[in-house]
Each structure stands twice: as C-alpha cells, then as structure tokens.
Structure 1
Amino acid sequence: MQHINRSNLRKQRGVAAIEATIVLPILFLMFYAVGEFGRLLYQYNQLNGLARNAARHLVSYTSTNSTGIVGVSTLVESQVRNMAVTGQLSGGTPLLTGLSTDNVTLDVSQSLAILSVTYDWTPMFGESIPGFFGDAVDLSWDITATVSMRPL
C-alpha cells in the first residue's frame, strides 16, 4: 500500500479550480448549442405541421376540371394563410414568434397546389455576435417548409 504524503496534497489543492475554469465555459457552450439545435428542430417541426395542415385545407377547397385546378376563392386563400401562421381558420396568435401571413406563398397551378412558409429563425440570445475587425456574424437564417399536394 502506498503512503500519501501531505505535501503532495497541498500541491494539488488548486488544480480542480483551474481545471473547472478551463472546462466549464466549453461545457456551457456545448449545452447552449444542443439546446438551440433542439429549439431549431422543434420550430421546424411546428412550421412543417402548420404548412401541411394549411395545404390540406387548401386542397380540400379547390375545384378542378380536365386541365387542372380552376382556382381558389379569396376567402379560402385568406383562411389558408391564417392557418399556416396560427393553426386556425381565422384570428388567433402566431404559433412562432415573428411569423406572419406575409411569410406564406401559394402557388395553385395546373394539377398541384404548392404552399410555402418561410420563417426567420433567430437564436434565443440575439441575432448576431460581434466578429473580428468590426463585422458582426449573423446567427439567424430562414427556415422554409414547402408542401405540394394534388386535389382529389
């Protein structure tokens, strides 16, 4: 059995604090990155669900003939836009912060109805961080959910 010398213990006293000072910022940055990535995936999933449900509503109220889709009424178009933002036919609050009906594009042509929703995703702690030489690094980008369906 090896004998522990008290002088060796005194030399090791501050090592744990120094190691924690080095490792903890990196560990917290990794936790933040994993949390932000999870938040990004959640919001992307929300956006896809909204777009899918709005496209189903759009397709169920389109009229077709032998050449393809005839058209969509303005009421249905406004309902689809609102549904792609709030999940409801009219009224409601946006399910994603900053999402509006301006972010929704509809393309009803020939035999396909295409609905696209674009969302400007930003991290929790800001859109940009200061970079080197005065140029800020932009941390936000657009998430786009596109759904195309054929009317029945």
Structure 2
Amino acid sequence: MPPRSCPDTACVADNLVDCGSWGGPAGYSGFRLPTLNELYGQFVIGSITTNANAGLMPEKLRGIEAGIDVDLAGKTTLSATLFYNMLENAITNVTLNAAMRQRQNVDAIIAKGLEVTADSKFSDFILSASYADADSKVSAHGPAVSTRIC
C-alpha cells in the first residue's frame, strides 16, 4: 500500500511542512524453533547450572505497528512508530532453586511502545536522534520472582 499524505489544505503556507505520510498499520507473524543448545545443551556458570529441555515448543510472534513521517522544510524529518508484539511460548531460563535453572517456555511476553526519530540535514553532515519507550511484561505460571535490573 502506498503511503498516504494529508490534504494540501492542512499544510503550512509556502510548503515549509510536508504533511508527511504514514504507512498504515502493518501486521506480522513468525516463529522460532528451539536451538539444539536449548533442547540438549547444559552449561554451568559459577555455582549455577542451567539444564536443557527437550520438550520445548516453538516461539510464536504476532505483532502490529503503525508509523508516520513528517518532513519539515526539507531539512528535518520527524518519524514516530507505535508497536505491539506478543511472543507466545517464549523460551527463557527459569530459576528452579538457588543453584539450578532450566530452559522453559513461558506463556507469553507482551511488548508495546513508541519509537521516535528526528533527522536534520546540515551542509556537511546529518544529525540524528532517536528515542524508544518499550513496556514489556512476562506472563508465566508459577511463583513470581523479582528480576529487576537497575
């Protein structure tokens, strides 16, 4: 689908602002099979052993995103994209006790957020800045364990 532009009546005089375009929402899906290491490999780091799991299921991803681009006077471009992703059967290391972990499927990981980018063209260089705000939550059965990383 070609990008859509706003009507000329909404644009600023003298074409200082190109009203931009948006690609409309895009949906996608995919999957990832467990690796041989996740299925059959064991490793030890310090006193913690992480066991493989031959019963792992494939991860399945479903997502949607939509974005907009706005050109300001031909020198600066602003872009914003909203996204929502659900990763079902996500493969992760689950703590069983103080010295033992195992690779397991968790119910789902949901990630949603916003990405913003600004690019400005100068005579000899381009200045770019980006910001991403993502909120991710893990949905899993079993006891909750705090994994906050500072």
TM over 0.5, yes or no?
Answer: no
Q: Which has the higher strand share?
A: 2
Q: Which has the higher helix share?
A: 1
Q: State the structure with more CA Rg.
A: 1
TM superposition score normalised by structure 1 = 0.27
